[in-house]
Amino acid sequence: MQGKYKVLLVDDDASVCKAYTMLLKSDGHEVQTVDNGGAALAMLKAGKFDLIITDYLMPGMQGDELARLIKQNWPNYPIIMATASVEKLNDAGKGKAAVDYVLEKPFTLAELREAMIWVINLFTEDQPGSLGTHGMMSKHLATPDCAPKPTQQL
């Protein structure tokens, strides 16, 4: 993945948003943050993003429901779900198909970069010149050998 991206970050924990924002901005990305699913949907109506990173467990609308609504309304957005609750996400099962990559918290900057590379490349390889819709890939929810090994750095 080359270039810098406009990222919508959705997490109800202000300290987590601050940490992720610092990581993303250190790589030159533009980051907008919101603390709930409703605000994320409003941001998507108002502007264009290259990537969405959302938490799973949030009050009100959880991340899996947000991902499902995003894919229904804007199917061309790649979505990474960051969660410390992979088991709960697996048990829920209903929203996983709308997520393109699941990143288990805590994660390193290198793991975040790898996830971003994977989903951006996935979308741009299938539909050159535009983003497209895809199934989910995760080291936790799919066979890790299926994931291409990123060869580029952000």
Please report where in the chains the tokens 């938490």 appear, as a residue: 55
Close Cβ partners of 70 (under 8 Å, ≥ 6 residues apart): 40, 41, 44, 52, 77, 79, 98
Q: pTM for this one? A: 0.78
CATH of the domain at 104: 3.40.50.2300
Whether 153 is in a domain gets the answer no
Model pLDDT for residues 2-50, shown as the tens digit of each residue: 579 999 999 999 999 999 999 999 999 999 999 999 999 999 999 899 9
Dihedral pair phi/psi, residue 52, rounded to 5° = -120, 130
The domain tally of the chain equals: 1
* Domain span including residue 67: 6-144
Q: Is the dihedral of CA 135, 140, 146, 152 positive or negative?
A: positive
Q: Does residue 45 lie in a domain region?
A: yes
pLDDT class for 132, splitting at 50, 70, 90? very low
